[in-house]
């Protein structure tokens, strides 16, 4: 059994210039994940206690779990002193760490602390997504939005935690994708999947087909393609959609699939956030031999303009994303 801590230190020794700061950063995320995992597993119970007006188990004012997840990760990251600040789905603006605006942190972190949190009420798995960059501004000077509005190909590391039937932390630093399963009896994440790659054979497409009438023509054509009978390409594919990006992505990574959230009437620019959802998942996908686009362009090449900007998102096995992109090119609306 190899723990996440042991694995990171072992890998760190492969990078002589590594100073251990990224190791400290990832272990802060690991700590945050353990705390969030503990409370997610009691979510129903805490809600029940909270609903009759009594205090929750810890006697604290009950926080919505996604706010709780945000506070937990923010505190864990600030405590390590290697992060200059964060951007989060739960924060309108940048959060600058350190007593004054100048700070010594070498990294900035962008995160969706609890993606798919509406699923908690119905006991469906949810996730935390994180994306790590070197800051652009000089260490010691104030950080600014330019530290965060970097294209995805500049990410130093990215990953997610999935709180499902087991809790797993999946991450990449650009040297493959590695997955660790949490053992609550020991309080450690153990290496369970080293160098994860998408399978060779496509099996699953994930999209909310309830919005079919609102999809671009290329997406409609691709869905019909997935549903055709063709033994050579193992179609029809299975349709699976959980409504939680991390869960759908994780299943597609292990079983072979594609996740699509295109632009729709309700989300003309797409629903998925570029900086702290699409970019980290795209980095992981490419490191696992897959592909991620907005239907036309590589996600990691998109030059961000705003912290919370959205994008259409096609991510998964390269062969499946290639097929979807081909239909998008052929049937431009
Ligand atoms: P819809 C969760 O809110 C999320 O951002 C993704 O995790 C998920 O795939 C998608 O939205 C679900 O959106 O419109 O299908 O309910």
Q: What domains sit in the chain, N to C, each tagged with a CATH number?
A: 4-193 (3.30.540.10), 204-330 (3.40.190.80)
Q: Using alpha carbons only, how large is the chain's radius of gyration in Å?
A: 20
Minimum-distance ligand 1 atom for the alpha carbon of 246: 7
Q: Can you tell me the mean pLDDT for 121-136?
A: 93
| Model pLDDT, residue 44 | 66
Which tokens go with 118?
Answer: 């509406």
pLDDT tier for residue 49 given thresholds of 50, 70 and 90: very low
- Is there a cis peptide before residue 248, judged by omega within 30 degrees of 0? no
Ligand 1 center from residue 77 Cα (angstroms): 26
Minimum-distance ligand 1 atom for the alpha carbon of 210: 15
| Model pLDDT, residue 17 | 61
Between 9 and 146, residue with greater pLDDT:
146
Ligand 1 atom 1: the closest Cα is on which residue? 243
Ligand 1 center from residue 169 Cα (angstroms): 20
Ligand 1 atom 3: the closest Cα is on which residue? 116
Ligand 1 center from residue 313 Cα (angstroms): 11
Q: Is 214 in the pocket of ligand 1 (CB under 6 A)?
A: no
C-alpha to C-alpha distance for 305 and 274, rounded to whole angstroms: 10
Minimum-distance ligand 1 atom for the alpha carbon of 266: 14
β-pair partners for 33? none
Please tell me whether residue 151 adopts helix, strand or coil conformation: coil
pLDDT tier for residue 50 given thresholds of 50, 70 and 90: very low
Residue 139 has phi, psi (to 5 degrees) of -60, 135
Ligand 1 atom 10: the closest Cα is on which residue? 243
Q: Can you tell me the mean pLDDT for 106-126?
A: 89
Which tokens go with 269?
Answer: 């620019």
**226-239 pLDDT, tens per residue?**
999 999 999 999 99
């Amino acid at each position: 059994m190899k723990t996440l801590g042991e694995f990171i230190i072992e890998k760190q020794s492969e990078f002589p210039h590594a100073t251990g700061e990224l190791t400290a950063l990832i272990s802060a995320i690991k700590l945050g994940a353990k705390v969030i995992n503990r409370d997610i597993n009691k979510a129903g119970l805490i809600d029940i206690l909270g609903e009759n007006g009594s205090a929750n188990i810890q006697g604290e004012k009950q926080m919505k779990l996604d706010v709780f997840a945000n506070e937990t990760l923010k505190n864990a990251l600030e405590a390590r002193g290697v992060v200059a600040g964060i951007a989060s789905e739960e924060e309108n603006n940048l959060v600058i760490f350190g007593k004054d605006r100048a700070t010594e942190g070498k990294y900035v972190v962008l995160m969706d602390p609890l993606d798919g949190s509406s699923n908690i009420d119905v006991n469906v798995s949810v996730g935390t997504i994180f994306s790590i960059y070197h800051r652009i501004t000089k260490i010691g000077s104030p950080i600014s939005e330019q530290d965060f509005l970097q294209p995805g190909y500049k990410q130093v590391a990215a990953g997610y935690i999935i709180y499902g039937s087991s809790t797993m932390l999946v991450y990449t630093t650009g040297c493959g994708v590695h997955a660790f399963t949490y053992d609550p009896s020991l309080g450690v994440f153990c290496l369970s999947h080293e160098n994860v790659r998408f399978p060779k054979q496509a099996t699953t497409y994930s999209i909310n087909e309830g919005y079919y009438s609102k999809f671009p023509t290329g997406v409609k054509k691709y869905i019909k393609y997935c549903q055709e009978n063709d033994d050579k390409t193992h179609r029809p594919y299975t349709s699976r959609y959980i409504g939680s990006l991390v869960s759908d992505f994780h299943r597609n990574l292990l079983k072979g699939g594609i996740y699509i959230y295109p632009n729709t009437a309700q989300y003309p620019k797409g629903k998925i956030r570029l900086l702290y959802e699409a970019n980290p998942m795209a980095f992981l996908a490419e490191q696992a031999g897959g592909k991620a686009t907005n239907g036309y362009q590589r996600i990691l090449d998109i030059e961000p303009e705003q912290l919370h900007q959205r994008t259409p998102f096609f991510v998964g096995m390269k062969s499946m994303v290639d097929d979807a992109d081909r239909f998008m090119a052929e049937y431009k609306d």
